[in-house]
Amino acid sequence: MKRKNSQDNRKNIKIALAGNPNCGKTTLFNALTGATAHVGNWTGVTVEKLQGTYRDRKADIKIDIVDLPGIYSLSPYSPEEIISRDYILSGDADLILNIIDATNLERNLYLTTQLLEIGMPIVVALNMEDCLKANGETIDVKALSDRLGVPVVSISALKQKGIKELMQTVKENYSVERSAISLISDTMLKDSIDKVMLLLKDGKEKLFDSIKLVEGDKIVSQKYIDLENDIKAIKEENEEVKKKYDGNFESCVADCRYSVINSKFSDLITREKEKPKVSKSDKADKVLTHRIWGIPIFLVIMLAIFHITFSSNFLYLSAVIPDGAFADVDPVSELFVDTEYEEDEEGNISGANALKSPGVFLQGLVEALADVVNGERVVEEVLDENGEVVLDEEGNAVVEVVEEGGWIPRLLANAPDWAYGVICDGILAGVFGVLSFVPQIMVLFLFLTILEDTGYMARVAFIMDRAFRRIGLSGKSFMPLLMCFGCAVPGIMATRTIENDRERKSTIMLAPFFSCGAKSPIWYAFAAVLASTVGWNEELTVFSVYLVGIAVAMIAALILKKISGQKGVTPFIMELPTYHTPQLKSVSVHIWQKLKHFVFRAGTVIAASTVIIWYLLNFNFAFRMVEETESILATVGGWFEWLFKPLGFGNWKFIVASVTGLIAKEEVISSIEVLSGSVAEFVTESGVSTAGVFAFMAFNLLTVPCMAAVGAAASEFGSRKRTWLAILFWILTSYIVAMFIYLVGEYWWTIFIFAAVVAGIIAAAHFIQKKKAKALNLGDKQ
């Protein structure tokens, strides 16, 4: 009975976190919600907002917290800012928690003045109390609260100070009605705002809408399209704005806000000492964003990260460790060192003297686990002295177990063939195939998150801007594309920070060309095969795949720019946050979310799809279990062999492997293993040439990404037509590049044909662009 009562009393409220980028919003979110955060898929636009729950010890209230992308203003500029604004105005939240960076009060209050114009409960969290103290500054919190007319709580999200008081204030205020006020209603805009307000019907957000109408906000103006002429007339009447701002109300509103902030709030800050002119951050920037050394420094950092993640020769210690040092180590040590070696005719051992990098070590750990669970059970028929199969009394062959295998294969030793096949060769093989490279993706993500958290990534965007501008993109495209080396899905989502629509869409189209973590097992597996067949250096082969991707992306970006006919690139304006040491909590929360995502995927989509592939590979159209070569997959794949002949891999197994990559790129290797047992066998039995194998790798690199990435791209494009265009673009690009690689690799003279075709395409693009420009000019004149 008592329990029921407490349930009834428990209230559930929702608050939205709003604030400038880099004001410590996410730190506060993590401090409030801990590990409860989850990425919610929201109705309407498919958009990712973080939501978590704050639980009070007394548990009389449950507070859901929505973390929104950082915004400078409620006049949005980039798509992610629109997400924030739309959510704030939707009224879904009970209260807005506005976080302010105390070390940068004026700029942060700029957003606050706009939030106050919304008639919703607001609590202001004055963050970075600790930094303020370190700077020798104090802010009069009480006066700030009085002048804003809303509660202000001083906190330090990083040191988790003042959080309880903050939430207490939230609890006291979420149900208190608050009417909208505007701090700029006493300025030269007063008349205009008052008159527009007269035009509007009484209702929600009258003040907010009026100010936005005066400002000329596109979205709000659309809402009141019938008042267009009246508003224009009202604005015309304002002589002062006409004189001072050339009739530019947007500038006028912004200016008024800053001057009000300046006159009303600047006396609240008391400084004991002057701030140093050049901060530590500035000194670091002198080096890290150096006009010449900036990019090389970044490349070295990235190489180091890739080394720690992917290298099987950690720190190149093999140079000092003698050959064969780790040739016979115990199974546990095997996890840490490379035990593979070659022995020449004289018995000299080379190899087995390298340490594994952390990423490779973790991968080995998962593989060891896979072996314990799903190690293959090997059974052989017993032969007598003459090499004949020994039969038992009933005439069946006597078998002996050569290898016991993992738990599951042992458990299913006596199960029917199909059950064993579905579970061990299908589900488990597929799922472990995915899990085995999760560690490396996680390590890569860990480092990228750390770099991001320190504030370095914003600098990288800045130093890369110049180079990106040449191919028609801005530095803002850099980070999303870099993330694509980990996974295209978050990379594609990160394109929301790009303001320009064309640049954003182009960036999404380029995303798959940056080899994601899920594709890397393909390169490693095939590089190993090419090393043993034609003696190519493994690391160079893998590296060249990445280079092919980057080169294709650059050319594709140029072509996309040409086709669009847009001149120039959006200006690059970006705040560079002060450098700080990465926070364990925010980094770990981020990594944990990624990990959950991958493991969830392995357990659902991939497990299900492997069953389907296994079925299609073991049954024919008459639903009978047959040899693989007669299976549904073989038959259907066979129909399309001709299509891939020009690419050098017109073989149904190659086609099937590529198609399964659509489900998830991990599938390429796992289906090769289901199809042929091993990648080496897969290549040798098909008779595909070296050029064909490399063309196959290029094809898989550049073609349509996995369904998850296509889905992410579709929701970002927001248009079906655009999505199909992108899919067509990916298919064409991969087909053409793979064909180029195969034909030129096999018959070098075909390079001239390609040169002619490329020249033709460039000419065509140029022509289209001219035509477009002409049409545009005509449109302008009319």
Partner 1 sequence: MRLIIAPIGKEGKVLKINTDEKTKNRLQNIGIIEGGKITLMQSNFGDVIVKVRDCRIAMNKDVASKINVEVN
Q: Which positions lie near partner 1, rule CB under 8 A?
A: 72-73, 75, 77, 103-104, 106-107, 110, 248, 250-251, 254-255, 258, 275, 277-278, 281-282, 285-286, 289-291, 294, 458-459, 461-463, 465-466, 469, 474-475, 499, 568, 571-576, 578
For residue 567, the minimal CB distance to partner 1 (Å) is: 12
Phi, psi of 406 (to 5 degrees): -80, 180
Q: How far is the CB of 570 from partner 1 (least distance, A)?
A: 8
Q: Which is nearer to partner 1, 430 or 475 (CB)?
A: 475
CB of 458 to partner 1, least distance (A): 7
Report the nearest approach of partner 1 to the CB of residue 496 (Å): 16
CB of 514 to partner 1, least distance (A): 23
Q: At what angle do helices 584-601 and 438-454 cross, to 10 degrees?
A: 150
Q: Which two tokens stand for residue 352?
A: 């087995």
Q: Shortest distance, CB of residue 315 to partner 1, whole angstroms?
A: 33
Output the smallest distance, CB 180 to partner 1, in A. 20
Amino acid in the structure at residue 15: I
Comparison of 297 and 429: residue with beta carbon closer to partner 1: 297
Nearest distance from C-beta of residue 49 to partner 1, angstroms: 21
- Rounded distance, CA 694 to CA 527, Å? 9
Q: 683 near 651, Cβ under 8 Å?
A: no
- Nearer CB in complex with partner 1: 281/715: 281
Alpha carbon 205 to its chain centroid, in Å, reads 35
State in angstroms the smallest separation of the CB of 499 from partner 1.
8
Q: What is the spatial distance between Cα 219 and Cα 202, in angstroms, rounded to a whole number?
A: 19
The CA-atom distances, in angstroms, between 210 and each of 118, 204, 217, 257, 271 are 11, 11, 10, 15, 38
Which residue number, 281 or 684, has a Cβ lying nearer to partner 1?
281
| Closest CB to partner 1 among residues 535, 568 | 568
Name the one residue in this structure whose structure tokens are 């990235």: 302
Burial 653-664 (b: 16+ CB within 10 A, else e): bbbbbbbbbbbb
How far apart are the two ends of the chain, measured CA to CA in Å?
76
- Provide the token pair at 349: 């051992």
Whether the Cβ atoms of residue 571 and residue 475 lie closer than 8 Å to each other: no
Q: In sequence order, what are the beta bridge partners of 18? A: 98
Q: Which residue, 543 or 572, has its beta carbon nearer to partner 1?
A: 572
Structure tokens at 64: 């859901």
Count CB-CB contacts under 10 A for residue 595. Answer: 15
Q: Which tokens is 106 given?
A: 């004026």
Of 83 and 463, the one with the shorter C-beta distance to partner 1 is 463
Output 285 or 673, the one with its CB closest to partner 1.
285
Nearest-approach distance from CB 281 to partner 1, in angstroms:
7
- Spatial distance between the Cα atoms of 404 and 5, rounded to a whole number of angstroms: 57
Pick between residue 190 and residue 244 the one whose CB is nearest to partner 1.
Answer: 244
Q: What is the dihedral of CA 59, 60, 64, 65, to 10 degrees?
A: -80
Reading the block at residue 573, the tokens are: 């304006």
- Considering beta carbons, is residue 33 or 238 the nearer one to partner 1? 238
Strand positions, DSSP E, 188-332: 269-271
